[in-house]
Each structure stands twice: as C-alpha cells, then as structure tokens.
Structure 1
Amino acid sequence: MDEVRPEGSSSCSTEAEQTQSRDTIVETAPSFSPSGWCPRELAFAPFVPLVEDQQQKEDKRVNAAGKFSKYRAFVRKPLVARLTKEIVETYQICNPQFKYSEDLNPKRFLTSPSTGVLNDGYDNLNSDLILTVNLVLIHVEKSRRYTVKDLLGHGTFGQVAKCWDSDTNSFVAVKIIKNQPAYYQQALVEVTILTTLNKKYDPEDKHHIVRIFDYFVYQRHLCICFELLDTNLYELIKMNHFRGLSLGIVQLFSKQILCGLALLKDAGIIHCDLKPENILLCASTVKPAEIKIIDFGSACMENRTVYSYIQSRYYRSPEVLLGYQYTTAIDMWSFGCIVAELFLGLPLFPGASEFDLLKRMIEIIGGQPPDYVLRDAKNTSKFFKCIGSLQNIEISEGSKNGSVYQALTEEEYEARDLKKPSIGKEYFKHMNLEAIVSNYPYRKNLPQEDIAKESQIRLALIDFLRGLVEFDPAKRWSPFQASKHPFVTGEPFTHPYRPSPETPHIPVVQNIKVDNHKGGGHWFAAGLSPNVSHLQL
C-alpha cells in the first residue's frame, strides 16, 4: 500500500520518523474524475485523520471549550465485504462505466426438487410450480403482480408462498396448487366456500375466518391469495415445549374458534379438517391474540357429505371413524380435541391407528358410540362384535347399561386381521378425562390461592370437554350451546352445564351454487358448481 506523504518528507527518513509521520500525517483526498483511473486512492485508501497545526494545539490547551478538529477520510470497509456483497460497487469504483443487471443474479430456489421436468419445465416431478425468490406471479386479467419472497409451507395440495402485492404494498400468502385436476377441483371448493363466507356471511370480518383476496391461474396452477397470518397453534404449543398454555389463553382461543364454527353451522358448511395447524394467529400487533380458521380445501356442504376419509386422525370423530353419516357435529368433536391439547400440550387421543384411536376414546371418555350409530355405520365390524340380537337394539338404547355391541380386544383384532394393531405411546399417567385434566401439573411457584382458583376453572374445563367429545353426535353441543358454557363466558362454575335445546336449524345455502351432478370429484361431491367466474373478490 502506498503512503501519502506530506510535502518535504523524504523517502530515506528513519524508521522512527516514518512511525511519527504515520501518526501525524495529513491526507489530502484526491479529487475524483469520472474519466480518471485511481482505484488505489479511492477504493483502498487508509483512514488518516487531519492534523492540527501547533497553534491550534496551543489554543485548545488554553481554551477548555476548544473545538475538535475536523476529519476527512474515506470509510474503509472490510476487504471481504468489498469483494463479496459489495463487489458490484467495487467494480464501479474501479470502472464507472461498469453496469450490472439483476437478471444475472443466480436464482435461489424455494421448491424442492427444483429440476423442471413437467409443464414445459415450469413444474417438478411432483407437479409443483418451481418457485424462486422474486418470481412474479401475474394475474393477467387484473394486471396484479405478486412477487415471491419466501416459502411458508408445502403439503400434498401444493405450496404456500409469502408474496409482495405491489397493488396494496403489503405482504400476502399465496397458495399455489399442484398442476393436477384433482387438486385443482378441490382448491376451487375452497375458493367458492371462502368467498361465500367472506362476502355473504361475514362481510365485516368478525367471525375469525381467513380472508380471501384474489385467485387466478398462473402457468396452469391455480393460485389463491389470502391475508398473511402468523404462527399456527401447533407451532405455538411446540414453542412452549409441548407444555400446555395458560387457561386464560385457552379460554380466549376457544371463544374465537366457536365464533367461527357458529358461522359455518349457519352456512351449512363442514370444515372437515379442523386441527391446531389450521388455526393461525393474526399478524396484527393491535390484536396479538386473535386467531383465524384456515384451509377449507376439504370442506363440504352439510347436505352433500360424500367422502368418508376426512379429518386428521387425532381429531377424527367417532362417526367418521365408523363410517356413519356426519354433520357439522364432527367439527365440534375436533374442536374439543383442540381445546384439550391447548391445555395439555399433547393430543388427547394420539392414536397410532384407527383401532388405537377408538380404544383411547373408549378408555378416556368412558362408554362407547350409541347402538343406533353402530348399527348403521359401515365400519362397525372392524372395531366391534355383536353380542346380542340386532332386534334388541331399540331396547338397549333405552337402557343405560345394555348394548348389543362390544369393542374388540387387541387379541381379537389380531386374530381376525392376522396382524397386530399399531398402538401408540401413552402420554398420560391417568386414563380418564377427569384425572388427566385434574392432575396436570400446575405452574411452578403458583400461590395456593391461585391454585384454588385454577382448580375451579379446571372443573369447568372438564365439564366443557364432556359436552364436546360426546360419542353421540345428536347430544354433542352445537357452537351456540358451547359458547354459553361458564368456561367460555368466565362465569363461576357451580354445577354441570345443561344447555338449552336448540331449535332445529335448516342451513341457509342459497348463496352457494348447488350442482346435483352425480359425477365424481371433490367439486361435485361438495355440492358446488365448478363455475366460479361469478364470484367477485
């Protein structure tokens, strides 16, 4: 590196003089000319302060309020920074005529695998659109552009990307569906149901249902634009190391979920996949504890229930498990499982198989599904054996103790299927609902007075769960009935809650096109018309 020396200095000066010179040297920054070539002076010039003359030093000693001398030098950044992330600026200092296009930047792939093999190279072997950072998804008809910034998640349906909406100058979540007809049709169900819920049933956004902003087709992929939300409840439990949340938070979340389920019941819509992963916190800092229900891709109309394999296993209702006709009551069962998991930090029924799932239900709740369900369900013989005459079912239903059905033991199941059923790990020391909730550890250093208060709330929680994880779907509480429970309202719990009977409700579904086409596909099975061009988002 060349030294910049003051006038009169000699290149033959002693080492001591050179050291002193470096301490007292004055650098005069060379003037920069665009046509000049001076990379050393500009790009790599050392930091050297201006030096005061002797008179200025004397003045500073005399005047305590003397001013500090001014410095004039170039800020020298680390060499690694200048040759990596600032390499373009370094080149431009060396050669002002140098220009670089961002199109030459290497692509950062968000989709894996990232090799294009389908759809003219736009899709990978899984039929997923290959996403890269700053890829622009264009809605041609509306001239809207969504710039991909990050990948939020992926699943069997496709991917969810965090995108920048240039029209609103805000981030949104865009769900990019796989380029396959079945997933496309299933996603159209979500578009229609959510649009109807948002526009017709919840125009003021008060019922904790995710908002849909836009939908379009890009490179043969259906893209659905939603409001950007935050962490889901499963991740929240995970961040808490799978310890239960406080009862106050559980009550707050329960009230909001019930509000959303009440809206779905009024609209005659079954969510069919309610679980902690599908309930997200809002990103707003104004309402940090607000949540919303998402993922209506498996939803259907209550009067058109065709599919039997629905609901995630831990949250699957007995009637779905047994192959019995189902209603919006299956969402209330899932809701009960979610409430229990929020408090316990672990699933209430973590069955490793359907046999294990039903076995845990019977042990924890007590009893079993009513005989009228077992008589008409398609899968009863997989889990139960008949020990009486089917003609006596009506008599057994009137009896508190009698039943003509008995659950198979593990040995009986193995003898019939010639294989052992998968049995999961036991997470709780106790195997009944009351003991599991009552004996869950209290927070450390909790005052005795607070323990007494929480004990009362736990009793309310047990009673609340009893009305939700009820084997009989006809007796299971509705969203409206559950919303009046003391656990939700915060009123003192003094005795078991007995909800007032509900007036039979006929869902109002005239806002959703119903197609009686008998063809297959989730679209028709949901009772919806594939023509969604009339929907205004």
Structure 2
Amino acid sequence: MSPRTYAPSPSTFAEDPDRYRENGLHPLTIGETLKHGRYRIVHKLGSGSFATVWLGRDTLENKYVSLKILSADTPLECKELRILQDITESTVAHKGREFVVQLLDHFIIQGPNGKHWCLVTAVAGERLARKPGLPYNSLEWPRIIGLQIAEALGYLHTLGIAHGDCYTSNILSQLLPFDKWSEEELYACMGQPIRHQVHRLDGRPKGDNAPDYTVDPGDVVALEARLPTDRIVLIDFGAAFYHHERITEIFTPAPFASPEILFSGELTSSVDKWAFGCLLYELCADRSLIKLLFGWNNDALKDQVSMLGKPSEALWQNWKGKEKYFHPDGTPKEAEGRRLKVEPLSLEQRVRNLEKPLSERSHGTDIATPLPPDLQNLYDLLKGIIIYDAGARLSFEAIQAHPFFSGVDIPKV
C-alpha cells in the first residue's frame, strides 16, 4: 500500500482526500461551474467507489440537476454512458420508462487528474426504505413500490439491458418539482454545505490534484420529507450489461445476489429477477429475505440452501465450504464447536412469518393453515422468482401481470 499524501478526513461522510490523485477523482468545490458556466455546483449529494455526485444548478434550463463525475480511470468508451444513452434515446413505448433514470446531458471534464465523464440526470431522493409507520403486515405500499420496480426492470429487459446491481441503494424516490427554490431555501432544507479542509501530511502546498476542502452530503432525507412522492427511480448503471454479453463477474451485495452469482454459475440477465424477488420480500417484511450474520457470501449461500434445499450438482460442486454445514444431500449438519447450526426455513414459512410481528417470527413449519389471500398471492409470485433455475424464473411481463399487483394504482407526480 502506497503512503498517504493527504490527511484523512475527520468526517465519515466525505470521501477520502487520497482519492484525489492522477486518474482518480476530479476536485470540485461549492460555487464552481462546469461546461462553460452552464452548471454551478450548489451542494454535495454523495460519493461512491468511482465517482462523486453533486447537486448543481442548470443555469440554461433554470433547474436543479444531479451531476455524477466519474473518476479519470473510467474508460472514455464508457459503458455506463452508452447504456444510459440507449435507455434515454429509446423510442420503445413502455410504462416502465418513467421509473428509470434519464440522461439529461453528458460531457467530458479535463482536470488535473485526467479526463472525467460527467453524467447529468434529475435529482432524486433517498434510497429505498420501508415507509415509516406502516403496520408490520401492511402490503399496500410494498405493492405500489414493487410494481414500479418491476415495470422499470421490465423496460430495461425490453431494451435488452440488465441492471446487474438492483438493490435498495440503487432505487431512489422521485421528488416533487423544486426548481423554483432559491439556493437559500435549498440550504434551509438540506443544511449548509459542511466543509473539511484538505492538507498534505508532509506540509507541502496542496497543489491542484485535490480540492481545498471535501464536502459532506446534504440532508437528502430532509429534502425528500419536503417533496414526498410514492414513486421510485432506478439509478446507477455502472454494473449494467447487455443480454447478449457473456458476463463472468457481478458484484451484487450478498442479500440480493442470485445463486448463480454466489455459486459461480452461468450469469445472465435473470440475476435481475432474483434481485427483484429479494427486494419485494424486503419491502413487505421490513427485513431481508436472505439472512447474513457476518456479512459474508458464505452466510448467503447457507441461507439460500436452508430456504430452497440443495441446488443442482453443477452449482453444488462449486461451493467449497459446504461440507462444514450440510450433508451431501443438502440437509443441515449438527453444529460443531462455535459454529451455528443452519436451521431450515422455507420460502413459504418466510412469507408466513409476515403475519407476525418481527419478535414472533420463527422457523416453524406449520403449513396446514391456509395463508391469507394477499400473502398467498405474494408466495405464489415469489416461488416463481426465488428458484435456482435462472431460465425458469418468471418474466417481468408475467410479474407485472401477477394477481399480487392486481388493482395497484401508481400515483402521479
């Protein structure tokens, strides 16, 4: 590991100043402008592994926008940009289009650390989370949100595109229009930008590679509270791919990763269907479908087998650690030492547990009592998606037409 150049930020919310280096992030500060003065930086929205995201003011269109500035090591033949262009320029008529982020503009920034793509989109709210105050067994809001996600993914798949990283952080809420707000009104809601001075550890002048300061993200939760809708937008196409591509690796978080990802099977666009099933369950249950104790892929593998039983022999042989937890037929072994025993918990029982408060949910296997109609519909839908056979998972057209979503009315902005 190379020695640090800059002192670490005192904030856990701002990016590491050492990421401002050759082929790294582009330095920006509040008030700077981009594209010959068209976009003025107003606040910070966030940062990720390969980009910073800023709230800007489009002085030409007189509206607020999101500016995602990719690190300079992103190839100029940027796949994410190409996919966003295909999404935005498509003439396919599909109701899911309105739930997928649209590219408003794009351009290259030449900076001290290299060339950076800047992708301009509409401003969205906070990441997807269960609506506060809902009864634990309420399915009305999950059905509204779930149908929008299904329609968004259905639109992508109609275009031959798989999102590849569909989980809660990449689904944001749409906001009511706020373009008439002044910057003072915006700061009154989101808070003034909090700055953290950047300086070198060796005491030498900072130079142009890093900004004078890093910035904490503004309070997007407060912004969303002022501009609420029950509509979503699917974002972040950094892991997206075309259906015809042969993909060898996908970095989906373990709770949403399909068996073919975790068991190193063949990767196809069907990974989006599994991820959708996990999302829908989480919306309904306010907890993840796949239980992780330590945040490892191994935990997800154990829980998938506890839910669905032994996978195909081809997948089963790819899991090197299975002998610690399971017999050759896929039944759990007794716990040894400090290792926790894997408790079988079927998909049906996981759905059945939604009838109970979180504190009362269990590994019970009493399936003699019929499920209530709404939970039966949910189970019927999930059992067509949460399966090992990727090719047999329901299409997004079938998902949208499923009785679970019957009568759902998606609100307008």
CA distance in 2 between counterparts of 1:284 and 1:350 reads 35
Superposed, 1:93-104 pairs within 5 Å as none
Task: Give the match for residue 371 of structure 1.
Answer: 313
More helix by share: 1
Task: Give the match for residue 125 of structure 2.
Answer: 230
CA distance in 1 between counterparts of 2:66 and 2:150 reads 24
User: In 1, are the aligned partners of 2:68 and 2:118 still within 8 Å (CA)?
Assistant: yes
User: In 2, are the aligned partners of 1:264 and 1:270 still within 8 Å (CA)?
Assistant: yes
Task: Give the match for residue 57 of structure 2.
Answer: 164
User: In 2, are the aligned partners of 1:275 and 1:334 still within 8 Å (CA)?
Assistant: yes
TM-score by length of structure 1 reads 0.54
Task: Give the match for residue 261 of structure 1.
Answer: 153
CA distance in 2 between counterparts of 1:175 and 1:224 reads 5
The change in CA–CA distance for 1:204 and 1:340 in structure 2 (over 3 A counts) is closer
- Partner secondary structure for residue 360 of structure 1: helix
- Partner secondary structure for residue 327 of structure 1: coil
The one-character-per-residue Cα deviations of 1:414-469 (angstroms, maximum 9, x if unpaired) are: 9xxxxx98x79x9xx993333333233568xxxxxxxxxx9321221122111111
- Partner secondary structure for residue 284 of structure 1: coil
Task: Give the match for residue 199 of structure 2.
Answer: none
Residue 225 of structure 2 corresponds to residue 304 of structure 1? no
Aligned length: 328
Residue 86 of structure 2 corresponds to residue 189 of structure 1? no
Task: Give the match for residue 106 of structure 2.
Answer: 215
CA distance in 1 between counterparts of 2:120 and 2:395 reads 31
Give how far 1:473 is off. Answer: 1.0
The change in CA–CA distance for 1:247 and 1:116 in structure 2 (over 3 A counts) is closer
- Partner secondary structure for residue 468 of structure 1: coil
Residue 261 of structure 2 corresponds to residue 320 of structure 1? yes
Residue 38 of structure 2 corresponds to residue 135 of structure 1? no
Task: Give the match for residue 486 of structure 1.
Answer: 403
Partner amino acid for 2:403?
Answer: P
TM-score by length of structure 2 reads 0.69
Residue 289 of structure 2 corresponds to residue 343 of structure 1? no
Residue of structure 1 aligned with 2:353, choices 400, 418, 439: 439
Give how far 1:153 is off. Answer: 1.1
User: In 2, are the aligned partners of 1:371 and 1:404 still within 8 Å (CA)?
Assistant: no
Question: What residue ranges of structure 2 are gaps of 5+ in the alignment?
Answer: 1-12, 178-226, 358-370, 409-413
CA distance in 2 between counterparts of 1:440 and 1:243 reads 11
CA distance in 1 between counterparts of 2:289 and 2:135 reads 13
Give how far 1:321 is off. Answer: 1.0
Give how far 1:370 is off. Answer: 2.5
Residue 398 of structure 2 corresponds to residue 456 of structure 1? no
Partner amino acid for 1:178?
Answer: S
Task: Give the match for residue 220 of structure 2.
Answer: none
User: In 1, are the aligned partners of 2:96 and 2:148 still within 8 Å (CA)?
Assistant: no
Larger radius of gyration: 1
User: In 1, are the aligned partners of 2:154 and 2:397 still within 8 Å (CA)?
Assistant: yes
User: In 2, are the aligned partners of 1:242 and 1:345 still within 8 Å (CA)?
Assistant: no
Superposed, 1:23-422 pairs within 5 Å as 112-113=15-16, 118-119=21-22, 127-138=24-35, 143=36, 145-180=38-73, 183-184=74-75, 188-202=78-92, 206-207=96-97, 208-218=99-109, 219=111, 220-233=115-128, 236-237=129-130, 240=132, 246-284=138-176, 288-351=229-292, 352-364=295-307, 366-371=308-313, 373-374=315-316, 379-383=318-322, 406=330
Give how far 1:273 is off. Answer: 0.3
The one-character-per-residue Cα deviations of 1:128-151 (angstroms, maximum 9, x if unpaired) are: 22332112122xxxx462111111
User: In 2, are the aligned partners of 1:231 and 1:281 still within 8 Å (CA)?
Assistant: yes
Give how far 1:284 is off. Answer: 2.6
The change in CA–CA distance for 1:489 and 1:117 in structure 2 (over 3 A counts) is closer
- Partner secondary structure for residue 149 of structure 1: strand
CA distance in 2 between counterparts of 1:484 and 1:251 reads 12
CA distance in 2 between counterparts of 1:193 and 1:410 reads 48
Give how far 1:184 is off. Answer: 3.9
Partner amino acid for 1:477?
Answer: L
The change in CA–CA distance for 1:176 and 1:410 in structure 2 (over 3 A counts) is farther
Give how far 1:405 is off. Answer: 5.9
Task: Using the aligned pairs only, state the percent identity.
Answer: 25
- Partner secondary structure for residue 383 of structure 2: helix
Give how far 1:242 is off. Answer: 10
- Partner secondary structure for residue 222 of structure 1: strand
Question: What residue ranges of structure 1 are gaps of 5+ in the alignment?
Answer: 1-109, 388-402, 415-419, 444-453, 492-537
Give how far 1:322 is off. Answer: 1.3
CA distance in 2 between counterparts of 1:116 and 1:284 reads 34
CA distance in 2 between counterparts of 1:117 and 1:381 reads 39
The change in CA–CA distance for 1:134 and 1:205 in structure 2 (over 3 A counts) is farther
The one-character-per-residue Cα deviations of 1:254-304 (angstroms, maximum 9, x if unpaired) are: 211111222222222221100011111111369922212111111111221
User: In 1, are the aligned partners of 2:65 and 2:121 still within 8 Å (CA)?
Assistant: yes
Superposed, 1:443-522 pairs within 5 Å as 455-490=372-407
Partner amino acid for 2:169?
Answer: E
Partner amino acid for 1:436?
Answer: R
The change in CA–CA distance for 1:190 and 1:244 in structure 2 (over 3 A counts) is farther
- Partner secondary structure for residue 439 of structure 1: helix
User: In 2, are the aligned partners of 1:111 and 1:131 still within 8 Å (CA)?
Assistant: no
The one-character-per-residue Cα deviations of 1:315-370 (angstroms, maximum 9, x if unpaired) are: 00001111111222110000000001111112111332222111111223x32322
Partner amino acid for 1:132?
Answer: T
User: In 1, are the aligned partners of 2:352 and 2:375 still within 8 Å (CA)?
Assistant: yes
- Partner secondary structure for residue 27 of structure 2: coil
Partner amino acid for 1:196?
Answer: D
CA distance in 1 between counterparts of 2:334 and 2:91 reads 47
- Partner secondary structure for residue 176 of structure 1: strand
Give how far 1:409 is off. Answer: 5.4
CA distance in 2 between counterparts of 1:274 and 1:332 reads 9
CA distance in 1 between counterparts of 2:18 and 2:319 reads 46
Give how far 1:116 is off. Answer: 9.5
Partner amino acid for 1:118?
Answer: R
The change in CA–CA distance for 1:437 and 1:372 in structure 2 (over 3 A counts) is same
CA distance in 1 between counterparts of 2:164 and 2:399 reads 19
